[in-house]
């Protein structure tokens, strides 16, 4: 009788244990994801700091995050941080590549367009810079950095009136933007 009971009930008990284990694993995974997301806020700040310090550990940590997530917004932010790192060490090709990867993951990530526009400006490719920055302008407004770099692009293209207008807009949004003030003074002389 006991053998018959075990023979009938064992598969049911086994399935229940599997179900309970799966439920616990899903709960653990959800808790882990929540912890990663909460930690991610400070992690992103740390990664931005490492990128600004030109610390190679930034790339290793970014790659570790990329290997563990499929979330497009997280991936976009990580690609952007890698782009900043390479821009800071003057590896322009890799910086541009990672800004492009950011845009592929999230085409509304306007900071990637701005940084890419800055790279073009620094290379003297003012028309490419202007075209890239115009995309950012379609995505966001009242961004003093964006207005400033559009002004720099126009200045590089020898379009003084347009440059002045964008430098003035920069100062309307951020009256303490010294570089825009200096550019305006220079152009108005």
Please name the residues in contact with 147: beta carbons below 8 A apart, sequence gap of 6 or more. Answer: 166, 167, 169, 170, 173, 180
The reported pLDDT for the residue numbered 173 is 97
Whole-number Å distance between alpha carbons of 5 and 34: 43
Identify whether the C-beta of residue 76 lies closer than 8 Å to the C-beta of residue 109: yes
Is 48 a domain residue?
A: no
Has residue 3 been placed in a domain?
A: no
Question: What is the domain range of residue 165?
Answer: 108-189
> Could you tell me if residue 78 is inside a domain?
no
Q: Residue 138 domain-assigned?
A: yes
154 domain residue, yes or no: yes
Determine the Cα–Cα distance for residues 103 and 118; give it in Å rounded to an integer.
Answer: 15
Q: Please, what are the averages of pLDDT over each run of 10 residues along the chain (189 residues)?
A: 41 37 40 43 83 94 93 96 97 97 96 97 97 97 96 97 97 97 94
Q: Kindly state whether residue 98 falls inside one of the protein's structural domains.
A: no
* Residue 110: C-alpha distances to residues 99, 126, 138, 144 (Å): 10, 18, 9, 13
pLDDT at residue number 24? 39
| Distance (Å, whole) CA 164 – CA 185 | 10
How many domains does one find in the chain?
1
Count of CB atoms within 10 A of residue 45's CB? 10
Give the CB-side neighbour count of residue 41, counting CA atoms within 13 A. Answer: 4
CATH of the domain at 144: 1.25.40.10
- Say if 10 falls within a structural domain: no
In a domain, 161, yes or no: yes
- pLDDT score recorded for residue 42: 56
């Amino acid at each position: 009788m006991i053998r018959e009971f075990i023979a009938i009930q064992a598969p049911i008990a086994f399935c229940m244990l599997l179900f309970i284990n799966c439920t616990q694993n899903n709960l653990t995974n959800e808790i882990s994801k929540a912890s990663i997301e909460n930690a991610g806020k400070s992690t992103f700040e740390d990664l931005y700091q490492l990128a600004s310090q030109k610390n190679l550990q930034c790339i290793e940590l970014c790659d570790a995050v990329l290997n563990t997530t499929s979330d497009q917004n997280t991936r976009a932010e990580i690609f952007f941080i890698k782009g900043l790192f390479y821009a800071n060490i003057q590896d322009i090709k890799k910086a541009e590549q990672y800004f492009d990867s950011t845009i592929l993951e999230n085409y509304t990530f306007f900071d990637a367009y701005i940084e890419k526009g800055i790279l073009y400006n620094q290379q003297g490719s003012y028309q490419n810079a202007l075209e890239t920055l115009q995309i950012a302008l379609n995505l966001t407004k009242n961004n003093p950095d964006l207005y400033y770099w559009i002004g720099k692009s126009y200045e590089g293209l020898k379009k003084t009136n347009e440059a002045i207008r964008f430098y003035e807009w920069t100062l309307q949004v951020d009256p303490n933007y010294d570089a825009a003030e200096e550019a305006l003074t220079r152009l108005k002389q």
